[in-house]
Chain A
Amino acid sequence: SAVISQKPSRDICQRGTSLTIQCQVDSQVTMMFWYRQQPGQSLTLIATANQGSEATYESGFVIDKFPISRPNLTFSTLTVSNMSPEDSSIYLCSVTYSGANVLTFGAGSRLTVL
């Protein structure tokens, strides 16, 4: 299965600032996704990162708040913009291959917004 590296693993941010999370995969993957896990809660899909085009966002998530890039088959970034304490969460990158019925997750990026 794919090996996923996320950076940063954790960060403490100030209200109103933005932070970009990177997701690097060790092999070419078909699909990449970004999930959010708020404290003590389950995971929610933010968006599907599409190579070379705009991401596909789930209900309740918008591009202005969570801009996503995916310039190639192995790399994606998620930016959390204009952060507030409510954005304090673990953000997880996940990937899958065509025909592989398994989703692999990165270790996550734990953001704390003060």
Chain B
Amino acid sequence: GNSVTQMEGPVTLSEEAFLTINCTYTATGYPSLFWYVQYPGEGLQLLLKATKADDKGSNKGFEATYRKETTSFHLEKGSVQVSDSAVYFCALSASDSWGKLQFGAGTQVVVTP
């Protein structure tokens, strides 16, 4: 079946540091890939997405590239802020079951001043 594997957290960084959260997936066909973010006490928000190989999703300084050859969708940000402290979820939607997201375990990111 489909699955998503994320690096474990928590990840603790200083402000302005570089952030990478690794995400790899297993799926048949050509899934769509997503990063969602959950800020403390809030609901889940879509951060970015990519729907086909080599697509790059970007938003709020975050980027992730859909790499089919390595089945990966790593999230990166060049300079994090305290306000980026949140839990980040990688997810996929298989091509034959749209809307049924398979989520990774989530990675908590803590950015200190």
Measured CB to CB, the residues of A under 8 A from B are 31, 33, 35, 41-45, 48, 58, 92, 94, 96, 101-108
Contacts and interface: CB of A to CB of B under 8 A. Distances in A.
Given A42-B106, A92-B44, A108-B43, A102 B49 contact: yes
B44 A43 contact: yes
B99 A43 contact: no
B32 interface: yes
In the complex, which range does the number of interface residues on chain B fall in?
20 to 34
Q: Dominant SS at the B interface? A: strand
A59 to B, nearest CB: 10
Interface of B: 32, 34, 36, 42-46, 49, 51, 89, 93, 98-101, 103-106
Contacts of A48: 99-100
Given A33-B100, A42-B89, A101 B43 contact: no
Contacts of A104: 46
Q: Dominant SS at the A interface? A: strand
A89 B83 CA distance: 25
Given A41-B105, A101-B49, A96 B44 contact: no
5 contacts: A35-B101, A42-B106, A96-B99, A103-B99, A105-B36
Top-9 shortest CB links A-B: A107-B43, A105-B44, A42-B103, A43-B103, A31-B99, A42-B105, A96-B99, A42-B106, A108-B43
